[in-house]
C-alpha cells in the first residue's frame, strides 16, 4: 500500500534514475557512438567475462524476454560477433560463444567506458570519489539484500580528529549534549595520543566503504584494571555488529595485556551501549545522579573480571 512517504521516496529514486541515465548516456540509441545498443554490448560483455552461456542463462542474468534475446543474438550471430556451440558436457545444450571478431569489437568499447568513468571520477576530489563509490556500493548492497562489510584497523593520521568531530556531532544531534562533551572527548583523545603505551593501550577504528564509522579505546586505569572508553558507532553503520565486535576486541586485548579486570563509565540514557555491556558480562557497580553536558543524567560505572 502506498503511503505519502513511499510516494515521496519513489520520486527521489526515479529522479536519480533520470539523472544517472543521462549522465552515462544509456538513453542514446547506440552506446558510446558505436553501432551497438546497450543490451547488445552487455550480452557480449557477459560472454567475454563469464564464458559461454545458454540463452536461458542470459535471460535470467539480464532479466530479458526470451523472444527479445533471441532476436538480438540472431543479429549478433549474423554479424559473426557470436557463435552457437555445443556444450562440452551436454551435447543437447547449445551455448552462445563470443567470437574472436566479437572480442575485437568489444575491447575498444570496454576501454572507452573505462576511460569515461575515470574522467568522471577524476573531476572530483579524492574524498568525494570515496563518497560516491561508497554510496554506489551501499545502493547495490541494499537492493541485493547483502550485508555491507566493514573492517577494524589501527588509527591513521587524521582519524583522531574525526573521532572527536563525529562523536560530538552525534551526541549533540541524538541527545542534545552541549560543548562540554566535545571538550571531554578532545581531552581523552589528546591524553591518549600524548601518553600512548602500546603494551597496555589500544584504539580500534571501524571503517566501512572508506569512511570512519566507529571507534573504541582501551587505556590503563591502574596496574590491574583496563578502562574501556568512548565506544561509538555511527548511525549509518548500526545493526552490523560493529559495537559488539569493538567490545570483544577490547576484552581480548586487555586479557593479553595482563589486566585482570575492566571498567567503563557511561550514562543511563545510552541504552544500546548498556545492552552491549550487559551482554559482555559487565555489571553495574555504581550509579549517581549528575548534571553533565547540559543534561540531567545518571552516571554509571560498570565492571567485569577478565
**Can you list the domains of the chain with their CATH numbers?**
4-123 (1.10.10.10), 151-305 (3.40.630.30)
Q: Is the pLDDT of residue 255 over 50?
A: yes
Query: How many Cβ atoms from other residues are within 10 Å of residue 177's Cβ?
Result: 21
Half-sphere exposure of 144 (CA within 13 A, CB side): 9
Average pLDDT across the chain, whole number: 86
Q: What is the pLDDT of residue 159?
A: 92
Output helix, strand, coil percentages for the chain, rounded to the nearest 5: 55, 20, 25
Cell readout for 200 is 597496555
Q: How far is 96 from 118, CA to CA, in rounded Å? A: 31
Query: How many Cβ atoms from other residues are within 10 Å of residue 31's Cβ?
Result: 21
Q: Give 11-50 pLDDT, tens digit per residue.
A: 887 787 777 766 665 444 444 556 788 788 888 988 887 7
Half-sphere exposure of 40 (CA within 13 A, CB side): 23
Q: Give 71-123 pLDDT, tens digit per residue.
A: 999 999 999 999 998 877 777 778 999 999 999 988 888 888 778 778 888 88
Q: Give 166-184 pLDDT, tens digit per residue.
A: 999 989 988 999 999 999 9
Q: How far is 59 from 100, CA to CA, in rounded Å? A: 23
Amino acid at each position: 500500500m502506498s503511503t505519502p512517504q513511499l510516494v515521496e521516496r519513489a520520486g527521489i529514486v526515479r529522479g536519480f534514475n533520470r539523472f544517472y541515465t543521462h549522465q552515462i548516456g544509456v538513453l542514446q540509441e547506440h552506446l558510446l557512438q558505436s553501432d551497438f545498443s546497450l543490451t547488445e554490448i552487455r550480452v557480449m560483455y557477459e560472454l567475454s567475462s563469464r564464458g559461454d552461456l545458454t540463452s536461458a542463462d542470459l535471460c535470467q542474468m539480464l532479466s530479458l524476454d526470451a523472444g527479445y534475446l533471441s532476436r538480438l543474438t540472431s543479429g549478433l550471430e549474423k554479424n559473426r560477433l557470436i557463435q552457437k556451440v555445443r556444450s562440452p558436457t551436454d551435447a543437447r545444450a547449445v551455448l552462445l560463444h563470443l567470437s574472436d571478431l566479437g572480442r575485437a569489437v568489444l575491447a575498444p568499447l570496454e576501454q572507452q567506458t573505462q576511460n569515461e568513468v575515470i574522467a568522471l571520477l577524476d573531476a572530483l576530489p579524492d574524498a568525494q570519489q570515496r563518497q560516491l563509490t561508497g554510496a554506489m556500493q551501499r545502493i547495490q548492497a541494499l537492493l541485493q539484500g547483502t550485508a555491507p562489510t566493514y573492517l577494524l584497523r589501527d588509527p591513521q593520521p587524521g582519524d583522531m580528529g574525526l573521532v572527536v568531530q563525529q562523536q560530538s556531532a552525534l551526541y549533540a544531534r541524538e541527545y542534545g549534549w552541549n560543548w562540554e562533551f566535545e571538550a571531554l572527548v578532545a581531552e581523552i583523545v589528546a591524553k591518549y595520543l600524548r601518553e600512548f603505551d602500546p603494551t597496555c593501550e589500544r584504539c580500534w577504528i571501524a571503517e566501512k566503504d572508506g569512511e570512519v564509522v566507529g571507534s573504541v579505546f582501551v587505556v590503563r586505569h591502574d596496574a590491574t584494571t583496563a578502562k574501556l572508553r568512548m565506544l561509538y558507532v555511527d548511525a549509518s553503520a548500526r545493526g552490523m555488529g560493529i559495537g559488539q565486535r569493538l567490545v570483544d576486541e577490547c576484552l581480548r586485548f586487555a586479557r593479553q595485556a595482563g589486566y585482570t579486570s575492566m571498567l567503563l563509565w557511561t550514562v543511563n540514557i545510552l541504552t544500546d551501549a548498556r545492552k552491549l555491556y550487559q551482554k559482555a558480562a559487565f555489571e553495574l557497580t555504581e550509579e549517581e545522579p549528575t548534571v553533565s553536558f547540559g543534561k540531567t543524567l545518571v552516571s554509571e560505572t560498570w565492571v567485569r573480571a577478565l
